[in-house]
Amino acid sequence: MTKQPEKDYSIYFQPPSLTDAKKRGKEDITVHYDFDIPEELRELGKDKFYLIQTYGCQMNEHDTETIMGLLEQMGYRPTDDRKRADIILLNTCAVRENAEDKVFGELGHLKHLKTAKPSLLLGVCGCMSQEEAVVNRITTKHPFVDLIFGTHNIHRLPHLIKEAYFSKEMVVEVWSKEGDIIENLPKKREGIKAWVNIMYGCDKFCTYCIVPYTRGKERSRRPEDVIAEVRDLARQGFKEIMLLGQNVNAYGKDFEDINYRFGDLMDDIRKIDIPRVRFTTSHPRDFDDHLIEVLAKKGNLMEHIHLPVQSGNNEILKRMSRKYTREHYLELVAKIKKAIPDVVLTTDIIVGFPGETEEQFEDTVSLVKEVGYDSAFTFIYSPREGTPAAEMEDNIPYEVKVARLQRLNDTLNVFSKKSNEKLLGQTVEVLVEGESKNNPEVLAGRTRTNKLVHFVGGKELVGEFVHVKIVEAPTFYIKGELVKAPVKS
Ligand code: 5AD
Ligand code: SF4
C-alpha cells in the first residue's frame, strides 16, 4: 500500500463560519438526481461488517438509515457485535453538551477496540462533526479515529471509506457548502414506520441552538420528489410515515418558481393511500391557517401536533429569538383546538435559560397548565459555543435549574395522567408496533394521537390496526384490552 501525501486539512475541512451563516442566501440550492456508487466501490465492503451508533433526533436516525443503505450497497453487512465490526460509525448530536460528552466517552472505549484490531475503521459523523472545536479535539486528542465527515457529506461516504482504507492519515471532509439536496440516496428501512425528509436545515437561529450551523440553511425537497417517495413507501406496505424537518412549517419558503407550502404538501399526501401520516418539528411562528384547515380534514393526518414552545415568558422568548409571544402561541393553540377538538399537543421546553428568573419560569408553568399538553420533552439549558445565548450572563445556579425542571415535570405529569384517564373506557384504534419491552406476551402500539398502549395479543397482530378498549391509565402509557382485530390493513 502506498502512503498518501500529508493531508492539508484545510482542503477537506471548511468549518461553518457562525457569522457567515446568518448572511447565507437562498440563491444556490441545487438538487442532484445523479447519485450513484461507482462499480469499484461496490466491492469494498465484501465480507465486512458495520455497526452504527446513533445519538440525537429522528433526523439523525434517518441519516443513519441512509448511511446503512450506502454501506450495504458497498457490500457491508450489519452486526451488533463490536468485536466483529470492520467499520464503526458514531452518528453524533450536538444539541446539548451531555450528548457530546457521551460521544467523547465512547471514543475512549473504542480506542481499546482499535488497538486490539488495527484494521477496524472508526468514523465520526453527524452534527458534532460540523463543529470546528470538535474536529480539532478529535484530530489532536483522538488521532486513532480514521474518518470524520459532516452532515453535508453523507453521499460522499463510499469515496471517503476508500480514502480511509488507503490513507495513513485521518480523513476529514466537512463541507460548509450547504445548498445541495442529493436525491436517490439508498435508504435501509425496516418495520412498518418510515421517516421521510421534506426539508433540511434551519434558518430560525434561536439563540440557544446549534442546529442552524450544523445542518445549514433551510432547503426544501421538491414536492414531486417527496410525493413519489411517499407513494413508493405506500406501495411497499409501510403503515406510517413521519415527515421530517427542523422546521417543517417553513417548507416551500425557499421555492422561487412555485407557491407551494407545507399545508399544500399535507393536502397532497392526505390523498395518498398510506394509513398514518405524522410530522415533526413545527415552529409556532410559521404555523399557518391553511395548514390547520388541512389537518382538520384528518383521514390519514393524525390529530397530534408537536409544537415546541420553549418558554412561556415573553422576555425569555424574545431573548431566545423565537419570534412569537406567549399570546401569539396561545392564540395558535386556541385556533388548532377549535379546528381539531380532539387534538393532542406536545411540546419542547427549556428551563434555566440564561438569567431566567423565578417569575419567568412560573410563566412557563402557567402556560403548561393553560395549554394542557399531553407530554413534553423538557431540558435544562445547555450553552453551545458560538451561539448568541452562550454569551449571555447566567447567574442562575445549576441546582435551581434542576429543581425547576423537576417542578415542571411534576406539573406535566399531572396533565399526562389526566389526559390518559380521559381515555378510560374508550375504544381506540391502535397500530401494533411489536412486543412490549418487558413482556413478550404484551403487545405495544400507538393511538392516532401517538399514545403508547399495551395490551395482550398474539404476535400475528404486529403491523396491523386493532381496536383496543382502554382499561388502565398510568402516567407514561395506557393499558387496554383487544376488542377487534384487525380493523384495516
Ligand atoms: N440547551 C437545551 N436544550 C436545547 N434544545 C435545543 N438547543 C438546546 C440547548 N442549547 C432543545 C429545544 C429543542 C429540542 C430539540 O432541544 O427544546 O426544541
Ligand atoms: Fe434550533 Fe430554533 Fe431551528 Fe428548532 S427552530 S432547529 S430550536 S434554531
Q: Looking at residue 27, what is its pLDDT?
A: 57
Query: What does the block give as the cell for 476?
Result: 407514561
Indicate whether residue 348 lines ligand 1 (CB < 6 A). yes
How far apart are the CA of 466 and the centre of ligand 2, in A? 36
Q: Looking at residue 6, what is its pLDDT?
A: 41
Q: Looking at residue 97, what is its pLDDT?
A: 94
Ramachandran class of 243: left when φ > 0, alpha when ψ lies in -120 to 50, beta otherwise = beta
Q: Counting ligands in written order, which one lies closest to the CA of residue 245?
A: 2
Q: Looking at residue 440, what is its pLDDT?
A: 86
With a cut of 70, list the residues of the chain below it in pLDDT. Answer: 1-20, 22-23, 25-27, 177, 485, 487-489
Q: Counting ligands in written order, which one lies closest to the CA of residue 349?
A: 1
Q: Looking at residue 208, what is its pLDDT?
A: 97
Look at ligand 2, atom 5, and give the residue with the nearest C-alpha: 204
Look at ligand 1, atom 9, and give the residue with the nearest C-alpha: 382
CA distance 172 to 8: 10
CA distance 264 to 270: 10
The b-or-e profile of 408-437 (16+ CB within 10 A means b, else e) is beebbeebbeebbeebeeeebbbbbbeebe
List domains and CATH numbers for the chain. Answer: 11-173 (3.40.50.2300), 189-421 (3.80.30.20), 427-482 (2.40.50.140)
How far apart are the CA of 20 and the centre of ligand 1, in A? 22
Residue 419 in contact with residue 478, Cβ under 8 Å? no
Indicate whether residue 246 lines ligand 2 (CB < 6 A). yes
The b-or-e profile of 204-230 (16+ CB within 10 A means b, else e) is bbbbbbbbbbbbbbbbbbbbebbbebb
- Which neighbouring-strand residues pair with 480? 455, 470
Q: Looking at residue 460, what is its pLDDT?
A: 94
Q: Is the dihedral of CA 419, 421, 422, 426 positive or negative?
A: positive
CB atoms within 10 A of CB 456: 13
Indicate whether residue 308 lines ligand 1 (CB < 6 A). yes
Q: Looking at residue 66, what is its pLDDT?
A: 98
Q: Counting ligands in written order, which one lies closest to the CA of residue 94?
A: 1
CA distance 488 to 465: 6
CA 143 to chain centre: 29
How far apart are the CA of 375 and the centre of ligand 2, in A? 20
Q: Looking at residue 168, what is its pLDDT?
A: 83
Indicate whether residue 250 lines ligand 2 (CB < 6 A). no
Q: Looking at residue 361, what is its pLDDT?
A: 98
Residue 376 in contact with residue 347, Cβ under 8 Å? yes
Q: Looking at residue 359, what is its pLDDT?
A: 98
Instruction: Find, among 349, 344, 197, 203, the residue nearest to 279 by Cα.
Output: 197
Candidate of 61, 101, 208, 391 to mutate for ligand 1, largest count of ligand atoms within 8 Å of Cβ: 208
Indicate whether residue 245 lines ligand 2 (CB < 6 A). no
Q: Looking at residue 112, what is its pLDDT?
A: 94
